[in-house]
Amino acid sequence: MRIDEVHRVLIVGAGTMGQQIGLQCAKHGYTVVLYDIDSKTLDNAITNIKAYATQLVAEGFLTSAEANATLSRITMTSRPEEAADQADLISECVPEEPELKGRVFAQFNKLCSPRTIFTTNTSTLLPSMFAEATGRPAQFAALHFHKTVWVSNVVDIMPHPRTSEETITLLLDFAKRIGQIPILLKKEKSSYVFNSMFNAINREAMALVVDGFASVEDVDRAWMGIMKMPIGPFGMLDDVGLDTAWHITNFWAKTLHLSELQRHADFLKEYVDKGKLGVKSGQGFYTYPNPAFRRPRFVEGTERKG
């Protein structure tokens, strides 16, 4: 398939990243279908996408007319047959579980045209873990976006050993068509480029708190005060979602049998079990929409407790 033959994009999984990827594709002229098995998730997706569009208008990224046209190109469905109909490219955005991703791709392999390109937005898993399950390994690679898609507009393209050169070329072209800066990995690497660096920071930040050396707030103060950043590691984890961070950390802790990572996963699970998922639930390490780290003089320590 050539890039000019891609017209309809199917997003499988209508969570935060699926919503943002779908909106970005529609913004650049593609017809988009968001599929999810959960109708409540789809209802939330409609609300959130409209809110994103309103924000883009307010910030000058879109005119009102362009926002309306963008939204008109997006549809939602919980019916897999309807979702797969005439899809040219799939972006899979389901939770970070290789067995689940494999089942989803196997399902859509039966429903989609043989020409459809499959991609995964996995943050840390390798495409080779479920390439065979796609039924079309040559037409499959990782196409990994960053939040917020239209601001942090770098996308990782990571082929696995059986990905065809034609597929890589198409994905490079597609990334550029939707306003992204493509980063092509030469071989498979868990967490890609930025996330590899980001995860290293998170791992050390978590160790400082879990092992009792410093508080969440003081870890963020150290990072913000020295790097002059508006947010620290724990604020960033809240933005990612503590449930997502737990899934990733727990998977690798068990896969690699690392006790340190398991302690970090258990620490995150305490928040998840209480419904403290970060920004999306209104509470995580901080309380939203006005977290302490955004208040005046947070770095200087005036928000310090006790």
Query: For residue 301, what pLDDT is reported?
Result: 84
Residues 138 and 266 in one domain: no
Characterise 270 by phi-psi region: left (phi > 0), alpha (psi -120 to 50), beta (else): alpha
Q: Is the pLDDT of residue 168 over 80?
A: yes
User: What pLDDT is attached to residue 302?
Assistant: 62
Q: Are both 143 and 210 inside the same structural domain?
A: no
Is residue 64 located within the same domain as residue 165? yes
% of the chain with per-residue pLDDT over 90: 95
State whether 14 and 91 are in the same domain: yes
Both 15 and 69 in one domain: the answer is yes
- Average of pLDDT values for 24-33? 98
Whole-number mean pLDDT of the chain?
96
Rounded mean pLDDT, 87-104:
96
Evaluate whether residue 305 is within a structural domain. no
pLDDT reported for residue 186? 97
203: in domain: yes
- pTM, to two decimals: 0.85
Burial class (CB in 10 A: 0-12, 13-18, 19+), 116: buried
Domain boundary among 150, 184, 218: 184
Domain presence at residue 275: yes
List the end-to-end C-alpha distance of the chain, in Å, as a whole number: 62
DSSP-H helix ranges across the chain: 16-27, 39-58, 64-72, 80-84, 98-111, 165-177, 194-210, 216-227, 233-240, 242-256, 259-273
Q: Residue type for 238, please?
A: D
The number of distinct structural domains making up the chain is: 2
Domain with residue 91: its CATH number is 3.40.50.720
Region 245-274: mean pLDDT is 95
Same domain, 215 and 289: yes
pLDDT of 304 strictly over 90: no
Residue ranges making up the domain that contains 84? 3-184
Q: Are both 199 and 279 inside the same structural domain?
A: yes
Whether 305 has a pLDDT exceeding 50, the answer reads no
Asked if the structure places residue 162 within a domain, the reply is yes
3-state secondary structure of 218: helix
Residues 69 and 93: their CA atoms lie apart, in Å, by: 24
Length of the chain: 306
Q: Is residue 306 part of a domain?
A: no
Q: Is 137 helix (H, G, I), strand (E, B) or coil?
A: helix
Q: Are residues 67 and 126 in the same domain?
A: yes
Q: How many helices (H) and strands (E) does the chain have?
A: 11, 8
Q: Is residue 300 part of a domain?
A: no
Residue 213 located in a structural domain:
yes
Last residue of some domain: 122, 149, 184? 184
Q: How far apart are CA 297 and CA 74, in angstroms?
A: 43
pLDDT tens-digit map of 264-274: 999 999 999 99
Rounded to 5, what percent of the chain is helix, strand, coil? 50, 15, 35
- pLDDT exceeds cutoff 90 at 219: yes
Among 130, 157, 184, residue at a domain's last position: 184
**Nearest C-alpha neighbor of 123 from the set 7, 44, 202:** 202
Q: What is the CATH number of the domain that holds 269?
A: 1.10.1040.10
User: Per-residue confidence at 306, pLDDT binned at 50, 70, 90?
Assistant: very low
Q: How much is the pLDDT for 55?
A: 96
15 in the same domain as 154: yes
Mean pLDDT of 212-239: 97
Within this chain, do residues 128 and 216 fall inside the same structural domain, yes or no? no
What pLDDT does 180 receive?
98
Which tokens go with 291? 């977290």
Tell which residue, 194, 248, 191, 226, has the closest CA to residue 299.
Answer: 226
Orientation angle between helical segments 233-240 and 194-210, nearest 10 degrees: 110
Residue 304 domain flag: no
Q: Do residues 13 and 145 share a domain?
A: yes
- Each residue's pLDDT tens digit, 54-72: 999 999 999 999 999 999 9
| pLDDT confidence band for 303 (50 / 70 / 90) | low
Task: Kindly state whether residues 40 and 166 are assigned to the same domain.
Answer: yes
To 10 degrees, the CA torsion angle through 35, 38, 42, 43? 160
